[in-house]
């Protein structure tokens, strides 16, 4: 009776919280599986995945820098993975590689259930147009956001994303200095937080009752979240998104939905 085997593949992967999250999900739902870290060489993603499959591996979480290679490798993609242009979860079925992207769904679920903000009818502002922003657009529109405005340092990338998703809803590209009116939900999907920088926004992006969401998480609030809090705006960091994207992947693999609340609380207590 061999345990089903799962890994998180990345480079580096030593600091990934995914093993802790998925092991907790497995205990909670009484699933017989192992979940470990697997560091692939930077130029060795595909052979590492192939070897894992030959050894009977069932699925993997994919993290930096392999999400694009994972999309290219997958035999079949879910709609949201195709829209995201990147894959963060692989599932092996009869030797075939299925690719999904659960980051955007994780974000939506954390906004709605973690922060308690229903997205239906809301005006959403997305700061950034990188991989994380792209993956979030379709799930945000499908959750019923009334409009999605994208602002990015390199304006052409925001324009490109707005055009790519125009068929799915109201998606607008705006320059930072032309962000008129307040937004109900402002999502920081830039990596500016890593450098302790605030994207070039003013307090006018918020309205009373707005939610400021930073995809980044850590031991202290980001500059963006401190800026929002300083203007009386509710804040949430990306730790919940991390746990929720894992839950989405776990459900995809195991057909059982884990309870994220205790796992989120345990991780929060460690940060
Ligand atoms: P990318 O490198 O793909 O994109 C980075 C984005 O940030 C680009 O839009 C870039 O603009 C912008 N940017 C970088 N520096 C600045 C700055 N100083 N001022 C303004 N804009 C800036 O990164 P990802 O999309 O993969 O990741 C973005 C963030 O999301 C990271 O902090 C990451 O940790 C987080 N994340 C969190 C997850 C979670 O589960 N919580 C999951 C995935 C990501 P430009 O185009 O002009 O270069």
Residue 64 sits in the same domain as residue 130: no
Question: Catalytic positions, please?
Answer: 67
Please tell me if the CB atom of residue 104 comes closer than 6 angstroms to any atom of ligand 1.
no
Q: In what order do the strands lie in the sheet containing 171-173?
A: 171-173, 147-151, 123-127, 183-188, 206-214, 234-236
pLDDT in tens, 153-202: 999 999 999 999 999 999 999 999 999 779 999 999 999 999 999 999 99
My answer on whether 233 and 255 are in the same domain is no
C-beta of 17 in contact with ligand 1 (< 6 A): no
- pLDDT at position 191 is 95
Share of residues in the chain with pLDDT > 70 (%): 100
Query: What is the token pair recorded at 52?
Result: 């894992």
Assess whether 121 and 94 both reside in one domain: no
Residues 95 and 140 in one domain: no
Question: What is the per-residue pLDDT across 13-24, written as a single tens digit (0 to 9) for each?
Answer: 999 999 999 999
pLDDT surpasses 70 at 269:
yes
pTM of the model: 0.97
The CA-based angle 213-10-265, given to 5 degrees, is 40
Q: Is the CB of 216 under 6 A from ligand 1?
A: yes
Residue reference for tokens 């993290």: 63
Burial label for 217, CB within 10 Å (0-12, 13-18, 19+), is: buried
Nearest CA to ligand 1 atom 39: 242
Q: Please tell me whether residues 155 and 219 are part of one structural domain.
A: yes
Question: Which neighbouring-strand residues pair with 33?
Answer: 4
Whether residue 39 is found in the same domain as residue 162: no
Give the integer Cα–Cα distance in Å for 129 and 190. 7
Mean pLDDT of 195-210: 96
CB of 215 sitting under 6 A from ligand 1: yes
154 assigned to a ligand binding site: yes
What does the alpha-carbon distance between residue 124 and residue 112 come to, in Å, rounded to a whole number?
13
Which atom of ligand 1 sits closest to the CA of residue 129?
Answer: 9
Residue 135 has pLDDT above 80, yes or no: yes
- The alpha carbon of 89 and the centre of ligand 1 are apart by a number of angstroms equal to 20
Are residues 125 and 76 both part of a single domain? no
Max alpha carbon distance in the chain (Å)?
61
Return the structure tokens found at 148.
């999605």
Cα–Cα distance measured from residue 27 to residue 39, given in angstroms and rounded to the nearest whole number: 24
Note whether 41 and 136 are same-domain residues. no
Look at 24-28, 240-244, 267-271 and tell me which has the smallest mean pLDDT: 267-271
DSSP class of residue 102 equals -
Q: What is the pLDDT of residues 53-98, one digit of tens each?
A: 999 999 999 999 999 999 999 999 999 999 999 999 999 999 999 9
- SS3 call for 83: helix
CA distance 37 to 12: 10
Provide the number of structural domains found in the chain.
2
Element (H, E) at 206: strand 206-214
Q: Minimal CA–CA distance to 8: which of 269, 246, 182, 186?
A: 246
Model confidence band, residue 115 (pLDDT cutoffs 50, 70, 90): very high
Task: Please state the atom number of ligand 1 nearest to the C-alpha of residue 191.
Answer: 32
Cα separation of 28 and 121, whole Å? 35
Burial tier of 27 (Cβ tally within 10 Å: 0-12, 13-18, 19+): exposed
What's the rounded mean pLDDT across residues 212-231?
Answer: 97
pLDDT (0 to 100) of residue 181: 78
Closest atom of ligand 1 to CA, residue 134: 25
**What residue's CA is closest to ligand 1, atom 46?**
154
Report, as an integer, the average pLDDT of 18-46. 98
Read off the pLDDT band of 1 (50, 70, 90): low
Looking up residue 36, the CATH number of its domain turns out to be 3.40.50.10860
Give the mean pLDDT of the chain. 97
> Given ligand 1 and candidates 70, 108, 110, 132, which is best to mutate, with the most ligand atoms within 8 Å of its CB?
132
Is 26 annotated to bind a ligand? Reply is no
For residue 78, the Cα-to-chain-centroid distance in whole angstroms is 15
Same domain, residue pair 172 and 206 = yes
Would the annotation count 59 as a binding residue? no
Q: What is the ipTM of this complex?
A: 0.98
Atom nearest to 64 CA in ligand 1: 26
Residue 185's domain spans which residues? 104-237
CATH number at 156 reads: 3.40.50.720
Are 163 and 87 part of one and the same domain?
A: no
- Segment 117-126, tens digit of pLDDT: 999 999 999 9
H helix count then E strand count, the chain: 10, 12
Q: Are residues 115 and 221 in the same domain?
A: yes
Domain match, 108 and 224 both? yes
220 is in an annotated binding site: no
Question: Would you say the C-alpha torsion 136, 139, 143, 145 has a positive or negative sign?
Answer: positive
């Amino acid at each position: 009776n061999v345990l089903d085997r799962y890994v998180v593949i990345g480079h580096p992967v030593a600091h990934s919280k995914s093993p802790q999250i998925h092991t907790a999900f497995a205990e909670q739902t009484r699933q017989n599986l192992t979940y470990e870290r697997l560091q692939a060489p930077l130029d060795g993603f595909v052979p590492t995945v192939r070897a894992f499959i030959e050894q009977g591996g069932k699925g993997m979480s994919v993290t930096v820098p392999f999400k694009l290679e994972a999309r290219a490798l997958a035999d079949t993609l879910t709609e949201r993975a195709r829209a995201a242009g990147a894959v963060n979860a692989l599932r092996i079925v009869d030797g075939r590689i299925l690719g999904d992207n659960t980051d955007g769904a994780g974000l939506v679920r954390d906004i709605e259930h973690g922060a308690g903000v229903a997205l239906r009818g809301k005006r959403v502002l997305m700061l950034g147009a990188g991989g994380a922003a792209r993956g979030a657009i379709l799930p945000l529109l499908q959750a019923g956001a009334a409009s999605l405005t994208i602002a990015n340092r390199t304006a052409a990338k925001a324009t490109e994303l707005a055009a790519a998703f125009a068929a799915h809803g109201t998606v607008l590209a705006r320059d930072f200095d032309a962000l008129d009116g307040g937004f109900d939900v402002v999502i920081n999907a830039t990596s500016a937080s890593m450098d302790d920088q605030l994207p070039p926004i003013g307090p006018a992006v918020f309205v009373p009752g707005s939610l400021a969401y930073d995809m980044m998480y850590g031991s202290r609030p980001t500059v963006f979240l401190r800026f929002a809090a300083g203007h009386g705006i509710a804040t949430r960091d990306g730790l919940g998104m991390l746990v929720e994207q894992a839950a989405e992947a776990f459900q995809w693999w195991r057909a059982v939905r884990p309870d994220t609340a205790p796992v989120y609380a345990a991780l929060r207590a460690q940060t």
